[in-house]
Structure 1
């Protein structure tokens, strides 16, 4: 529990000291350039200053799946979503965070955004099963130049993440989480960037206790655990 508390405390300090804006991201370190024209399901969530606050994934032509922690200190209806690697910017007209999202625990860290207009891009599919330890995935986000980069991840099921092999316990990684280790120890991705495996959305980056440390995998919102909530609410925005 202490790990999430520290992350949330830092987020609170950042928000109150920067007029409710997150710390400007320094960009992913250790990623490799995403294939040209690929990963158009990845979107950036921006504040009024056009800086990237969080990431997200396109579920359909008007719906973004992101993390609820991205919306805590901000007016979601003033946010902008960058699609097709920022070549198009769309306003947000509706939003919904999971009703059981816990600020201090980061439990159920998932939210939906409805775009003001339809966008043409790739869309993610929700997973058909619980993530399995050892599966390969890709996290896609932005480097310091706001270029899309990929980070190869080894997925770790929640039960294995709290088994004692890593520095997490049952109070840190919850039933709505899955973990991932960056194969090349890359770090500094913003919250909400998607973890995809076999063309399915495995998770959304929620938090992490350390960078480039094999004892501290990144913690993602488990898309399979939230699948029912997403599917039952996506058409009600």
Structure 2
């Protein structure tokens, strides 16, 4: 357990980053037009601390660590690649979020006003191992980039083929293998497969590579919580 906690802290500095991160490495250039649902949680000075995804005109889904680790009153949401800044009206994260295991790493943010950009649907079922997904976030030059991911179920991720042991990758999680080694994606950055939100960047053991898949919140497993949370806010 102590080893997991140390590795989780390493992740926050390397894969799911803190504000000092340089940005995603080895991503492919993309545009906000291709991913209008992508948003950032950021300080009023424009410093991005987390990613997120619009699931309707007023609702953002992101990682629980993004709300638990920051003063939400000091955060705003950057829409349309930061050209539109919207204040946060309400927010909540799963009370069962665990800092050690990173289980239930999911949160909901309600915008102060509706935005007229595209949103994305929540996945109802998790992709099978081998499905091709895409994570979208920002590079060191603040350019929007995609990282291709081969999705791996939690069961397959702890099969012994990778660096994770049984009990580390849980049912509320998915894994993903980047084509090239990938680092510095912000927590909460969306993983999309088949035009649906299937995951959020959560944690991992260092940079994502062939031995160390990135670990994502499994949206299908937390979808019911998201819907209840939206209704309660």
TM-score normalised by structure 1 residue count:
0.91
- Given that 1:136 and 1:153 are in contact with CA atoms closer than 8 Å, whether structure 2 keeps it comes out as yes
Asked whether 1:178 is paired with 2:180, we answer no
Cα 1:84/1:30, change in 2 over 3 Å: same
What do residues 106-146 of structure 1 show as CA deviations (whole Å, max 9, x unaligned)? 10000000111101111111112122100000100000111
- Of 212, 216, 219, the residue aligned with 2:212 is 216
SS of structure 1 residue aligned to 2:225: helix
The match for 1:57 is 53
Cα 1:11/1:216, change in 2 over 3 Å: closer
Q: Output aligned runs, 1:17-166, within 5 Å.
A: 22-35=18-31, 37-166=33-162
In the TM superposition, residue 156 of structure 1 has moved relative to its aligned partner by: 0.3
RMSD of the alignment, in Å?
1.9
Question: Structure 2: which 5+ runs fail to align?
Answer: none
Cα 1:124/1:102, change in 2 over 3 Å: same
How many residues matched? 230
The match for 2:5 is 5
The match for 1:193 is 189
Question: Structure 1: which 5+ runs fail to align?
Answer: 14-20
SS of structure 2 residue aligned to 1:140: strand
My pick for the range that moved more, 138-147 or 27-36, is: 27-36
Q: Larger relative contact order (C-alpha < 8 A, sep ≥ 6)?
A: 2
Distance across 2 between alignment mates of 1:31 and 1:142: 9
